[in-house]
């Protein structure tokens, strides 16, 4: 499969934020979000076998592994790789943009489903049926660019009763929406969500790769 990069960093998002993590960034994406911070993953990468990928993960030596992109589910090999890593004893998170079905992902993996908001320019591409396959251990993330995104995300939460399915995270789009503004809205509405900040960007900056 085509892999953009494999590296160790701090997991900057989700309920696993702050933990050392090995990232497997898969090449290719079917979306072009307005705030995308990994455009280099659209095409860059090298072909690696499953064994080569697992060997690199073993050399890094971290228990937590995140498979991300791009959109990792575009490559069918991701499903098998996930299963193999879990069988080897790794905790696996899969970050997906919500356009590809998560139905057949190994149930032991943690799905981090990124629900695209209107501000992304890609919300119409979402496969809403994915909500039916979420497990309590999975997580949903909304990246919020402005008040319109916030209200839209809040409506989606209520319409699909998302907070009853798994943890829901609201994340201010880095460099676009001030975290303070999002916090204010969440507190005013007493909203049952968790604030998600991209911790790695506050540590390393927003333009550095391999973080």
- 21 Cβ partners below 8 Å, 6+ apart? 8, 9, 10, 11, 62, 64, 65, 66, 93
What's the pLDDT at 207?
72
Q: Is the peptide bond before 70 cis (omega within 30 degrees of 0)?
A: yes
pLDDT in tens, the chain (211 residues): 999 999 999 999 999 999 999 999 999 999 999 999 899 999 999 999 999 999 999 999 999 999 999 999 999 999 999 999 999 999 999 999 999 999 999 999 999 999 999 999 999 999 999 999 999 999 999 999 999 999 999 999 999 999 999 999 999 999 999 999 999 999 999 999 999 998 888 888 777 777 6
- Through-space distance between the first and last CA atoms of the chain, rounded to whole angstroms: 22
For CA atoms 111, 137, 93, 78, the dihedral sign is negative
CA distances from 83 to 79, 92, 140, 175 (A): 7, 9, 21, 36
What's the pLDDT at 209?
77
Query: What pTM was computed for the model?
Result: 0.94
Domains of the chain (ranges, CATH numbers): 2-204 (3.20.20.70)
Angle at 13 between CA 12 and CA 16, to 5 degrees: 95
Do the strands 91-96 and 110-115 form a parallel or antiparallel pair, or are they unpaired?
Answer: parallel
Question: Are 98 and 116 within 8 A, CB to CB?
Answer: yes
The CA distance from 52 to 59, in Å, is 11
Nearest to 33 by CA among 135, 142, 137, 107: 142
What's the pLDDT at 2?
98
């Amino acid at each position: 499969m085509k892999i953009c990069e494999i590296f160790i960093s701090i997991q900057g998002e989700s309920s696993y934020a702050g933990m050392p993590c090995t990232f497997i960034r898969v090449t290719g994406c079917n979306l072009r979000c307005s705030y995308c911070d990994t455009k280099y993953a659209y095409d860059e990468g090298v072909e690696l076998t499953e064994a080569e990928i697992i060997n690199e993960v073993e050399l890094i030596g971290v228990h937590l592994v995140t498979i991300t992109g791009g959109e990792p589910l575009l490559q069918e090999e991701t499903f098998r790789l996930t299963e193999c890593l879990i069988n080897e004893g790794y905790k696996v998170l899969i970050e997906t943009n919500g356009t590809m079905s998560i139905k057949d992902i190994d149930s032991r993996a943690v799905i981090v489903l990124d629900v695209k908001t209107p501000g992304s320019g890609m919300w119409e591409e979402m496969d809403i049926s994915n909500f039916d396959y979420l497990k309590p251990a999975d997580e949903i993330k909304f990246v919020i660019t402005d008040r319109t995104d916030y209200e839209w995300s809040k409506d989606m939460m209520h319409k699909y009763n998302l907070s009853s399915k798994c943890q829901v995270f609201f994340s201010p789009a880095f460099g676009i929406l001030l975290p303070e503004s999002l916090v204010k809205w969440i507190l005013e509405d007493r909203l049952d969500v968790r604030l998600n900040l991209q911790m790695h960007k506050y540590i390393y900056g927003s333009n550095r790769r391999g973080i």
